[in-house]
Amino acid sequence: MKINVSEEAAIWYKEELNLSEKSSLRFFVRYGGVGGRIAGFSLGVKEESPKNAHASTTLDNIQFFVEESDAWYFEDSNLSVSFDTKNGEPKIEYPDA
Domain ranges of the chain: 3-93
Provide mean pLDDT across the span 14-39.
Answer: 85
User: Which are the contacts of 33, defined by CB distance < 8 A and separation ≥ 6?
Assistant: 41, 42, 43, 44
Provide mean pLDDT across the span 87-93.
Answer: 94
Question: Among the CATH numbers 3.40.50.150, 1.10.1380.10, 3.40.50.720, 2.60.300.12, which is that of 3-93?
Answer: 2.60.300.12
- Residue 97 confidence (pLDDT) above 70: no
pTM above 0.85, yes or no: yes
Provide mean pLDDT across the span 29-33.
Answer: 80
**pLDDT value of residue 37:** 74
**pLDDT value of residue 96:** 85
- Residue 33 confidence (pLDDT) above 70: no
What single-letter amino acid sits at 29? V
